[in-house]
Structure 1
Amino acid sequence: MRLYAEQVKLLYANLPLGVAAGLLNALILAFVQRSVISPAVLAVWLGAIVVLSASRFAQAQAYRRAAPAPHEVGRWGFWYTVGAGLSGAIWGSAGVLLFPADLAHQTFVIFVLAGMTAGGVVVFSAHIWTAYVFFMPTLLPLTVRLFVEGHDTHLAMGAMSMLFFLLMVVTARRMYETTLTSLKLRFENTDLVAYLEKEKEATENLNRELVKEINARARIDEGLRESEGRVRAVVDNVLDGIITVNEDGTLESMNPAAERLFGYARDEAIGRHFKMLMPEAEREEYNDYLGAHLNVGDGKMIGFGLEVTGQRSDGTIFPMELGVSRMQIGRRQLFIGMVRDITQRKEVEHMKNQFIAAVSHELRTPLTSMQGSLSLLAEGVGGDLPERGQSLLTIARNNVERLVRLVNDILDVNDIQSGRIRLHLRPVDLTALVERAVDANRAQAAERGVRLALRNGPGAARVQADGERLLRVLQHLLSNAVKFSPARGAVEIEVRRVDAAIRVSVTDRGPGIPEEFRERIFQAFSKAPSDNAPSQDGAGLGLGLARAVVELHGGRIGYTSEPGAGTHFFFELPQWQDKPVPVSAGR
């Protein structure tokens, strides 16, 4: 019941945005089809959308005010699914009622319905049956209509619609399973935190009792023995393995958790070198590790959160997290190691990577098909299009390309986080690269009535870099500056030398960055609110990617901003010389 309540909560959290997006798409579709569909039909269909959208929005507000308990969410989930089914039915009717005779408007209807279905994959990912209830009435009427038309083109599009339907079902199922797994893990983590808090309180109570008993006893030796017993009880019952090693690398103690972790009984392990707990191929490396730490002159933690490889008594290899501290007992030095099996965490990370790879494939496949279809239309395969049709086709192609860029950005974020990104470094003229980026963004700036002003730079400014990666950094910065600039404003771009580095700066005269947003400006999916840039414009990945790429080049990125006066972004890279400064080509 708790899991289902959380699923319903996620559905209602996504409802206002989904309703708004659906209403906007309905208005766009009605506007485009107004010349080829009866006004009465359009009015009835659009009126149904508006009425349903208003009722679903009111339903979302009612759910938020009610804040139902887990045992009360059943009817909320039922009515949500009913609303999703009605929404799908109304959108599905567009495939019949708003399906005109000319191919261009037919294609636009197909495009809108495909987009609504793809959006439903995300909106309904928390509950698979709700997704099915929305998908089927949305796409099946269109598919039937295409087959009924009987022409080869329509038959092919009908087959593609069926394939797209199946792909959306598979994608929704995978996202649902991932969401379900995430929710279960979250509940398990919550329970684990509560358990640990309880254990922490018990341990603190135990420590207080130890202090009271030690102070109460007259004989120090008896108090020390009791204290040692209590500490031993804690060590023997903690979940992490604890071992102690002397200066020679010999194991001197091992708690029960470490025995279970490595599969050795205490008597088998004590007195042997700790290398027995490591894979044979890596044992010399661990010798060097211990020798290096012997030169550290304090007793603080000298290695924590290190991900290393362990080996059990039966020879199996497993990933573990290692923390090492050193303590001085008289003239002896001992190393205390805390070890934790992180196999499950690695499996979760692997599942995340598989999920991102699957999503990218499932999104790229229909996007590639859509790109190809739109390109064929642009080349005249479906016949000559009127000027209005060409304009709509251009809008559609631009939005598909935007989606492709978004998928690529998400994959780049994942590659950076997992350390798989690689840079192809070579000497690059940064001034020429900036000019190229400015030229590529002039059209976007012109559409918003913004002028791009490139100041005269220092001539050739060469850096050791991956040119294509840096070009994307520049495009993100320029796109943001244009987006937040007022109409008839200007964006200034400058390249100059700063000591031994080359600095590129982009300055706009927009509203500036809100104070409360600045701490998370470089976080993924973070977007600053602005009247000049609607919140839905962009995914909020650009600045995070820009910072990661600049830092991988050995540079730094930053900004200054003043409310109402604009924002100044800049990044600096080491200037290229005959012997270039080494930079990281990957994490």
Structure 2
Amino acid sequence: MYETQSLPVLLVEADPESRSQITQILADDHYRVDIAETIAQMLDRDNWSDYFLIILEQELPDGRTDELLPKLQKLAPNAELMIITAQSRIENVVIAFRNEIADYFVKPIDPDLFRSSLKRILEKQSVSSELRQIQAQLKAIVETAIEGVVTIDHNGLITSFNPAAEKMFGYSANEMINKNVSLLTPSPTREHHDEYIARYLETGESDIVGMRRELKACHRDGTIFPIELSVTDLPQFGIFAGIISDISERKQAEQKQEKLTKAIAMAGQQERRQLANILHDHLQQLLVGVRIHLDIAKKDASVEAVKQTLVRADELLSQGIEVTRSLTAELNPVILHEEGLVTALEWLSQNMKERYNLDVKLDLDRQANSSNELINIILYECIRELLFNVVKHSQTNQAFVRMSLLSEQKIEIVVSDEGIGFDPKQLDQQISEASGIGLSNIEFRLSLIKGKFWLESANGNGTVARIIAPFELRDAKIQNETP
């Protein structure tokens, strides 16, 4: 609350008796009073911003003050205006209050009512002053914010546009005030933006208000760039406030990181292929060569003990050759590259039966057989690791693999079993460690092709793993990086 002695009041009154009465009331309450007896005296001053209250006699010797109310409100925007008059004509009261005066008194003035009015005006001024301070502080914060801050009314028209928004979008605030905010959005959002606002105002439902979203924005020069937008509804002011961050640099960094991650994955796959080629083209050939010579030695051996040793060596070599062939196939199944994913999964099913006694039932839609090698490699590796999980954890000797092509040109793969299942709360502990790849690695591999992975299980109810992957890669850069 203000101390009244610090508040100047301008009293414009020509009648000595009325002027004396009002001056005495103000003085008793410790207001500081400036006096003017005419319009000319009133206007002859330059301290308008000091006044808390201006009290005006409606009829003065040189004119009517009610005709000056709009001018006085501009000269003293922080002052309240009060009219005093000897006339009680209703039209004068209407005109005065249309000009948003604080109060209107007909002489003779009742001191108690007058003091009550002063108290009410003082309280109003105190609240208004605090509000102005808060508004000034908020404006200072908004003006210096590094994020763009834009407010719009319920018609989508911009009411404020801070300097950061000016820099971000290339428009000045003067250009944007009262323009539709859809100007800052690209098509097709631009054409439907007003519909989004109308739907929110009608239903209270929105995909943006009250949350943080990544969207696209449009610069003045037509450039489309990524932003992070947070919108708050301020119904008490009839506006929406949006805080906008340009995340172009962050997105570029993410793209670089994604490209590096893909390059690492591609390098790993290439290394596996090279290792498989070495095993196939060199080590296996060497082992086969040794075996041929052992066969010759067995035929020529005359000592039975030597012959038995050679037979045993031949058996060990046969096992070694089988292991290298199996390892070669697992590292780089040639059939996957030459005949596609469906045929490779048919081979994998036989291999899992032979090596792990796991009966894999297949339901494969050949139309879902992608021509993209990277997609095929990643899906094959994920399916193989999921089957390893079945072998190690499910306590069952049967699994099911279904692959189908969805209508939206996506591949769906479901790997399931009817084993003991597990508690999803202990998912990290349950995921296979047999081959060094767990759930997070399956998700990582699928992320390289924008795929997704879900795992469902319950104790005693088996496990279902579901993969959704694209049928083709739209990103030409990714396609070109295929090993």
Considering fraction of residues, name the structure with more strand: 2
TM-score by length of 2: 0.48
Which structure: larger Rg? 2
Considering fraction of residues, name the structure with more helix: 1
TM-score by length of 1: 0.41
